Amino acid sequence: MIMIVLSWRYISSSPTHIVFILADDYGFHDIGYHDSIIKTPNLDRLASEGVKLENYYVQPKCTPTRSQLMSGRYQIHTGLQHGIIWPCQPSCLPINEVTIPQKLKESGYATHIVGKWHLGMYKKECLPTERGFDTFFGYLTGSEDYYTHNRSYDKFHGMDFRENMQIVQPQYNGQYSTHVFAEKAKNIIKSHDPQIPLFLYLPLHAVHGPLQVPDQYEKPYTNITNKQRRTYAGMVSCMDEAVGNITQTLEDAGLYDNSVIIFSTDNGGQVTAGGNNWPLRGWKGSLWEGGMHGVGFVNSPLINHQARGTTSKELIHVTDWFPTIVHLAGGSVSGTQPLDGYNQWETISNGKKSPRKELLHNIDPKRTTLQTSNNNMIYRKDMFDASIQAAMRVGDWKILTGNPGNSSWIPPPESSITPPHPTDIPGKNIWLFNIAEDPNEYNDLSLSRPDKVNELLEILQQYYKTSVPVHYPDDEPACDPDKNDGAWGPWQ
C-alpha cells in the first residue's frame, strides 16, 4: 500500500497530496530489504529514502484491515470481527462510520480510489462513491481474475470491474489488472490540479491469488523451482514496477515534493499462494506474527531530514493512519465515533516515541475452542474467557487465546532452511510472548509468567466489554449477478 500525505495547511503553503498504496496478501519476507530473493528495487529505494516501519501491524485478513484503515476503529467496534465480507453477504462497513475520504473532503481534497474495495456492496450506500470518494475505478469483491476481471463465488459468476457505477469490464478484458490500475492512477495524477490537495487510495489486486502474471515478469525467477512461488515473485516484480511508475508520475507532475507516500500490506502472505513471512510464525488468517506483522514504510520530502533513511521500531497499527492522515491534511477528527487509532506523524517524521502503548489484534467470539485450565493454571472467573480466539499487545508483551490459527514457521521454498516444529499441547489455549526479545514467537512464557497472563487477561476482558455484536449474516441468493446485468453489485 502506498500513501502520500501532506499537511497543506500546517506544513506547506502548497496542498499536501496523499497517495495510499495497499498491497494485497504481501508477505513479510517478500520485499527486497527483508533479504528476499524477490527483486523490489522501487520499493527498496522508497523505503531507504523514508522511514521503514518494523513494528507495524495490520489485520490477518482483507476486510478487517480495510475497515480499520478507513474508519480508524477496531473490528470489535464495527461488528466486523469475524472475517471478510463475502460477495453474497448483506454486510458492509457500517454506514454510520466516518471514513478517511469523508474527513478529507472537509479539508477540500479531491478523493479517488483505484483498485479493490471489499468493504461491502449489497446496497448503494455501501459503495466507495457513497463513502467519500469522488471516483471509483476497480472491483467490489475480494478477488477476481487478473485478465477477465470476473469473479466466481459459490454457484454464481459475474463481472466485477466498474468505473463509478458503470460496468467497464468488457473494454478491459484481457488487460492485466496491475497494469490497468497503475495506468489509471497515473492518469489521475497527470490530470490533477496541483493547487487542490489530492487523496489517491490505491488498494492493488496484487499480489492476491489467483497466481497470474505476464511471462516477462516471471522469467527472471527461473531459478525458483516452486511454480507458485515463481509466479508470485513475478507478480511482486510487476507491482514494484507499477509503484515506481506511479512515483515517477508524481515527480513529473510536480506533486512529489508535497507528498507523503505510505506503503503497506493488508495482511501476512498466503503461503499456499506463493507468499512467505519467514522468519515470522504463521501466515494470512492467523493471529501469529506472520499473519499481522506487516510490511510498511513511509516516504516523503516532508519527513524531517534526520529521520529519513531510518528504521522505526515504534508500535504502529493500521488504525493509526486515519488520525495521522487527517492531521496531515489539516483537518479534525471531530464528528467521528471514538477512534482506536493514534496520530503517528511525529513518530514517523521526527522519531518521537509512539503514543500507542497497546494494541488489540482482535477478539472473535464466533471462534471458540473447548475451555480448559491451560495446564492446571486456574484463572479468576471474571477474567477473559480464554476459549475465545483473541490476541493483544501491551508494551512488548503479546497474549493469544483460543485457536490463533496455523502456528507453523514456513521458510521460503527456494531456501534450504529446516524450520522448527511447533509443539502442540492438547487443550492449550493461552500463549504469552515477549515480542521485543522473541519476535518469531519461539518461547511461550505463559506457564512461567502467570502474573503477566492474568494482567493481560484482565485487559482483554475490558476490551471485550466494549465490543459490539458480531455482524456476519448469511448469504442472500438475490446477490446473483445474472439478476444484475451480469455484474456483482448492489442487490437491495
Q: State the amino acid at position 51 in one-letter form.
A: V
Cell digits of residue 199: 487523496
pLDDT for 379:
55
pLDDT for 13:
59
Helix 62-71 and helix 321-328: axis angle, to 10°? 40
Contact predicate 58/49, CB 8 Å: no
pLDDT for 401:
97
CATH 3.30.1120.10 domain range(s) in the chain: 358-465
Q: What angle do CA 156, 147, 268 make, to 5 degrees?
A: 80
Q: Cite the active site residues.
A: 62, 118
> Residue 57: pLDDT above 90?
yes
Q: pLDDT tens-digit profile of 138-168?
A: 999 999 999 999 999 999 999 999 999 999 9
Q: State the amino acid at position 492 in one-letter form.
A: Q
Gap between the Cα atoms of 208 and 177, Å rounded: 12
Q: 295 — phi, psi (to 5°)?
A: -70, 130
Alpha helix (H) ranges present in 177-292?
177-191, 215-218, 227-252, 289-292
**How large is the average pLDDT for residues 29-50?**
98
Q: CA nearest 69: which of 297, 330, 265, 345?
A: 265
Residue 207, preceding peptide bond in cis (omega within 30° of 0): yes
> Residue 376: pLDDT above 50?
no
381 — pLDDT class (breaks 50, 70, 90): low
Q: 117 — phi, psi (to 5°)?
A: -90, -70
Gap between the Cα atoms of 465 and 461, Å rounded: 6
Gap between the Cα atoms of 72 and 99, Å rounded: 8
pLDDT for 380:
55
Q: What is the DSSP letter of 125?
A: G
Q: CA nearest 7: which of 426, 263, 346, 245?
A: 346
Gap between the Cα atoms of 213 and 286, Å rounded: 27
Q: What is the DSSP letter of 281?
A: B
Of 75-84, 177-186, 218-227, 423-432, where does mean pLDDT reach its minimum?
Answer: 423-432
Gap between the Cα atoms of 248 and 240, Å rounded: 12
Would you call 358 helix, strand, or coil by DSSP?
strand
5 — pLDDT class (breaks 50, 70, 90): very low
> Residue 3: pLDDT above 50?
no
Strand boundaries in 410-459, DSSP class E = 430-434
**How large is the average pLDDT for residues 202-207?**
98
Q: What is the DSSP letter of 128?
A: G
Contact partners, residue 350, CB within 8 Å, separation at least 6? 304, 306, 307
As a dihedral over the C-alpha atoms of residue 132, residue 137, residue 143, residue 145, rounded to 10 degrees, the angle is 170
**How large is the average pLDDT for residues 361-388?**
76
pLDDT above 90 as % of the chain: 92
Q: 215 — phi, psi (to 5°)?
A: -55, -35
Q: pLDDT tens-digit profile of 303-344?
A: 999 999 999 999 999 999 999 999 999 999 999 999 999 999
Q: pLDDT tens-digit profile of 160-199?
A: 999 999 999 999 999 999 999 999 999 999 999 999 999 9
Gap between the Cα atoms of 366 and 465, Å rounded: 15
**How large is the average pLDDT for residues 374-389?**
71
pLDDT for 15:
85
pLDDT for 97:
98
Q: What is the rounded average pLDDT for all residues in the chain? A: 94
Q: pLDDT tens-digit profile of 223-280?
A: 999 999 999 999 999 999 999 999 999 999 999 999 999 999 999 999 999 999 999 9
Contact partners, residue 224, CB within 8 Å, separation at least 6? 37, 230, 233, 413, 414
Would you call 130 helix, strand, or coil by DSSP?
helix
Gap between the Cα atoms of 465 and 478, Å rounded: 35
pLDDT for 309:
97
- Please state the length of the chain: 492
Q: 167 — phi, psi (to 5°)?
A: -75, 125
- In the chain, count H helices and then E strands: 11, 19
Gap between the Cα atoms of 411 and 276, Å rounded: 7
pLDDT for 372:
55
Chain centroid to CA 317: 10
CATH 3.40.720.10 domain range(s) in the chain: 2-350
CATH 3.40.720.10 matches 2-350? yes
Q: CA nearest 181: which of 152, 144, 151, 215?
A: 144
Contact partners, residue 435, CB within 8 Å, separation at least 6? 289, 393, 396, 397, 398, 441
Q: Which CATH architecture has domain 358-465?
A: 2-Layer Sandwich (3.30)
**How large is the average pLDDT for residues 453-459?**
96
377 — pLDDT class (breaks 50, 70, 90): low
